[in-house]
Amino acid sequence: MNIAVICGGISPERNVSLVGGLAATNALESLGHSVRIIDPAFGSDCIRNKEQITIDPSILPSEDILSLPKQRLLECVMSSAFDGIDIAFMLIHGTNGEDGIFQAMLEAKGVKYTGSKVLASALAMDKVASKMMMSAMNIMTPPWAIAVKSKGDFDDDDALQEIITDLSGSLVIKPNNQGSTVGMTILHRPDIESLRNALIEAGNYADVILIESFIEGRELTVAVLGDEALPIIEIIPEGGFYDYKHKYTKGETAYHCPAELSNDVAEFVQNLAISAHKVLGCIAYSRVDFRLDDEQVPYCLEVNTIPGFSSTSLVPMAAKEYGIEFPELCERIIALS
């Protein structure tokens, strides 16, 4: 097949995406496919070669990259880069790639692509919308509130105090449409000023901010492949906070796969992951994140439609435990798509 691996882009998760793109390119080439690397950040000059991808995934991209116009994405899709391509292997994380925008452009051009379609991608990326969908299907998710920058919610002391009182306890503050914990803050003793500062930080990345109750307990993630849930992974970061640095710096986090859980709890969490995947309309694969409290109650945090995809990322890790090597995983995702 002639496959275009789409990676990079103009989101804060650009560097992580490039690492996954390079890994997928090597895997697909090892299976005999003809692979073209496409980075939409370069507009019509978007075809890259492997030698041009030298990045450190633990470092966020420069402001110069993040400030590039979305028009670059359209220029990329309208160029000749997709001529002769059988399918695009989507590996752009975050905004302008995982949120359905690029998928919609590909559909308009008539290019097939891997993973979830436009609506599911948009719903999963919108944390508030996905929480509402999951709550409607009785999938437990942490209690939440929202703050909107453009409405001046950050400056309303009464509203901030009401959030602190209603949610009570520790809080998680994060942009509504980012991944990889970009712009996220955890407050264990929130007050008006610390909450305002956390909202301002998250507001650097989104206009709508999600404030959630922090669930004390274990961090779990479940990869869904087709209609099956793969082995559960428990994530144990050094220092207790699985932030951007812990995600992408070697040795900062321990992973237990499969997680040490009773059979009943493991099966329940896996079934919840499949339910969350289906309720959002996801296709082919996803990764569903949970917190498991001390009473063994799982709370679904979010669904990732284009999860990290280097050969050592969580979905490939779970697949390998299940007996699926990385190149075969790439092939299965294409077939399921």
Burial (Cβ within 10 Å: 0-12, 13-18, ≥19) of residue 196: middle
Which tokens is 222 given? 């479940």
Concerning whether 13 is annotated as a catalytic residue, the answer is yes
Distance of CA 238 to the CA centre of its chain: 21
Catalytic residue among 180, 286, 311, 313: 180
Concerning whether 302 is annotated as a catalytic residue, the answer is yes
Catalytic residue among 15, 275, 304, 311: 304
Catalytic residue among 205, 248, 285, 299: 248
Whether residue 257 contacts residue 318, with contact meaning beta carbons closer than 8 Å, is answered with yes
Q: How many CB atoms lie within 10 A of CB 244?
A: 20
Alpha-carbon span 284 to 224, nearest angstrom: 8
Concerning whether 153 is annotated as a catalytic residue, the answer is no
Residue 314: in which H helix or E strand, if any?
helix 314-322
Between the alpha carbon of residue 202 and those of residues 29, 146, 154, 198, 308, the distances in Å are: 39, 12, 11, 6, 21
Catalytic residue among 14, 36, 72, 287: 287
Amino acid occupying residue 171: L
Taking phi over 0 as left and psi of -120 to 50 as alpha, with beta for the rest, 234 belongs to beta
Concerning whether 17 is annotated as a catalytic residue, the answer is no
Q: How many residues does the chain have?
A: 337
Angle, alpha carbons 148-179-163 (nearest 5°): 35
Catalytic residue among 14, 212, 308, 310: 308
Q: Helix (H, G, I), strand (E, B), or coil: what is residue 112?
A: coil
Whether residue 276 contacts residue 140, with contact meaning beta carbons closer than 8 Å, is answered with no
Catalytic residue among 11, 13, 203, 337: 13
Concerning whether 304 is annotated as a catalytic residue, the answer is yes
Concerning whether 204 is annotated as a catalytic residue, the answer is no
Concerning whether 180 is annotated as a catalytic residue, the answer is yes
Catalytic residue among 97, 176, 302, 337: 302
Catalytic residue among 289, 299, 310, 311: 289
Active-site residue numbers? 13, 180, 248, 287, 289, 302, 304, 308
